[in-house]
Amino acid sequence: MSSTDDKPPPLSIQDINNIITNLKNLLTSDCAEAEITVATNTAANSPTGNEQDGSNRTGNEQDGTNKQDGDANQAQETNDKKKEPLYELGKLCKELDYMIRSFQNLENLKNSLTEPFKTLEANVNDIVSDLEKDELRKQVQHNLRVFRNNITRVKILILLQLQAASINSDGNRALQTTFATGEAGDLPYLYRQPIFENSYYFKEIEEKYESLDDRQKLCLLCFSIFPENAEIKKRFLRFWWVGENFIPQNGNDEMGDLNDTLTTFVKKRLIEPVLKKNRLQPRSYKVTPIVRSCLIHFAKKARFFDYDPDGKPIMDFSSCNKACMVKSERATASWFADYLKGNDKDGNSEKPKEQQQHQEQGKLSADLVKLQMLFNFLNKEKLISASQQIDKLQTLFNLSKQFPDLPTEWFSKMTGIKVLYLGRWEATAGQARHIEVEDIEFLKGFKNMKNLRLLSLQGISGIPKLPATLCKLENLRILDLRACHDLEKLPERIGSLKKLTYLDLSECYLLDYIPQQLNKLSELQVLKGFVILDAKNSCTLDDLSELSSLRKLSVNVNTTKFNIDEAGDALAKFQKLEKLRIAWGWGGMPGKEDSTLDSSSEQQQSKTKKKQASSISSAAAKASTDKVNKGEEKGNWERSAVAAAGEANSKTAKLGGGLRGTANIALMAKKWRRLSMKGREPQNLEGLERLVKLDLQCFPRSEPPTWLVPRKMKKLTNLSIRGGRLGYLNHKDGQKWNVDTLRLKFLVNFKMNWKEMQQRFPNLKYLENLRCPRITFCPCDANGVWQKFVQSK
């Protein structure tokens, strides 16, 4: 027989598992027997209770007891030496237990890959059979694509299974320290692992990465700094890429480049869109853990950001011009801790002059100490290097730091900074990360940042006002102040930001003044969170109409003096406005003033009541006279009706009716103003005709605005009405809407059935009907959504 026949057959995974299990059981039984033996010897050599009781002993008996105690201690040492092998055997049992679980994981991996490999085998058979038939040559190309996709799925499955097994193993703690786990439950990073970097899958991702142009590569590398499975908002990517000048900022072209870049990444399976219910288009994206590990490798190689050995971005910018602010997860650098201890000791000890001079030469300045405390550099050389090139820092991004206060000295030295993102970036639906600054003195360093293009303070508390030096940022394109809950006012000279194109003031609930100079921002394209207030010299909609480049506007109404019908005149003046959102807050809801009048009626004097009544009556009479002079119909009737009502209420007030007569006059004046606006249309309709999207929230009236009719809103394709008292929409002379996306939410009074909706909205493709009980017979699903393309299928 040959030598090969003498070799035993190879062992299967199950056979190896059984052998290791038997070894473990044998060791366990030996350990148990050894423990019993040691315990017996210990009990035999230990003194009894009577021997330990020496209260009635004689001197000789005491000496004998001491001798026995010495023998007991010697016996205890002997037993401890016998226990050492038991401890080693216990460790070996744990190692064998880990090996058993590892081979069990391999067995599970083998079972999970059985079906995928059968699929691959079937794909190969199909390709071989089609190659033999000339008439099926075209089918081969399709089968090759299917085969390639299936191979990719199997590779991903293998890597994910191995990573999951590594994470779930309790016995692999020592090996897990070589990986970086950002949060609990994250998969280990694979970058810097030779097996991964030499794998076919890594080379495939690298090939896709190399196929991108330089601009697209830089855009893709931005995903490498975020934690695993983090959802990155499309709006945030737009901010960053515009700030870095990765995409041009030219209005619609900017959004086109943004969408094209993201679509390219999705097609190459480098990122994944995050699709949520009732959303037609994705607003967030994320990368898989494996692709992210590849991106970290590429970013490290390109010096895009610097990373620690675990693959986490760090605050060290000595080797690149970008840095991340991250919460400190490691102790203070050892060299800096020794330096601080050395300083403490030097103050309390006397040393030779030469040694003191040497220490003084190596002493850090106060600025360097502050910089080290913020960035925690690993060695002193990196601190010195970073301090010498802080003026070259181009991007500073707050990834996870709660208190982003920067030393004033170093903040003012960032003369080359282009992107300063200190605020919150997370797209979380739960509790947001709290960010706070203790002092805003460091913000005065804005005056030296002539190259700054993006500034984000989103979600930062503790900023009641912005310094005047903000207005010296002559190259600033994007200013993100969203959710700065303590912000009360903007700089008076904010109009000096001539290149500003995006301003977000949303969720700034304490903002009580908007400077009129806001209308000097000639290049402003997007304005969110504009507040209509009852404040003197505050900016109004009429002032905003001078912004010739404004395309998107969101307005919060916080005063009852705002008239939506009169606002149509101001909206008609906008030259490029395409998207408009108007939301009424508590301060803008009607009925608030009336209740105030009733509650304070006892404190008012009759003289004040007469003045209010006479002023309202005269104002109404004057306004109606003006309308008669302009040739409007029904002017005489309106004038006489309002004058009669004013006279009657004045008499009621004189007779001691309290302020109820004044309240009735105010209510009559409101009704008259609304009646006077009825049938009155803005003469210039261009601004309204350009609107593509309209969103009304908490609308305070039952009747719609006079300008919200199909004839004026010819380009309107997206209409949303959420909350409020609206009861219907105007449809004069059977005119039809061009709207294809309609969202109606929380409208208790709105009445319409499905047949009417189809007649009035013939182009409707998407309907969202949520908690509108009087909208009937709509074929919506459980989420209140109807889509035309779903119905066609």
Strands 718-724 and 693-699: parallel
* Domain 197-302 -> CATH class: mainly alpha
Range with lowest mean pLDDT among 263-272, 288-297, 346-355, 430-439: 346-355
Residue 228, pLDDT > 60, answer yes
**Which residues in 578-593 are b (16+ Cβ under 10 Å) and which e?**
bbbbbbbeebbeeeee
Residue 295, both tokens: 């991106």
pLDDT recorded at residue 167: 45
Q: What is the mean pLDDT of residues 470-495?
A: 93
Cα–Cα distance, 414 to 505 (Å, whole number) = 26
Between these two residues, 775 and 147, which has the higher pLDDT value? 775
* pLDDT tens digits along 145-188: 777 777 766 766 666 665 555 544 444 433 333 233 334 344 44
Range with lowest mean pLDDT among 21-35, 294-308, 457-471: 21-35
* pLDDT tens digits along 541-574: 999 999 999 999 999 999 988 999 999 999 999 9
Residue 526, pLDDT > 90, answer yes
Average pLDDT of the residues of the chain: 75
Range with lowest mean pLDDT among 8-12, 69-73, 214-218, 528-532: 69-73
Phi, psi of 44 (to 5 degrees): -70, -35
Contacts for 172 with CB less than 8 Å, ≥ 6 apart: 98, 166
Contact 369, 336 (CB under 8 A): no
pLDDT recorded at residue 634: 39
Instruction: Rounding to the nearest 10 degrees, give the CA dihedral for residues 58, 59, 60, 61.
Output: 50
pLDDT recorded at residue 173: 37
Return the percentage of the chain with pLDDT > 90, whole number: 35
Cα–Cα distance, 306 to 319 (Å, whole number) = 7
Residue 51, pLDDT > 50, answer no
* pLDDT tens digits along 715-757: 999 999 999 999 999 877 778 999 999 999 999 999 999 999 9
Using the 8-state DSSP alphabet, how is residue 2 labeled?
Answer: -
The CATH topology of domain 322-330+366-511 is: 3.80.10
Between these two residues, 783 and 7, which has the higher pLDDT value? 783
- Residue 452's nearest CA partner among 389, 518, 395, 526 is 395
Residue 417, pLDDT > 70, answer yes
Residue 21, pLDDT > 80, answer no
- Beta bridge pairs of residue 722: 697, 745
Between these two residues, 338 and 99, which has the higher pLDDT value? 338
* pLDDT tens digits along 688-724: 889 999 999 999 999 999 999 998 898 999 999 999 9
Between these two residues, 42 and 478, which has the higher pLDDT value? 478
Q: Residue 6 in 3-state DSSP?
A: helix
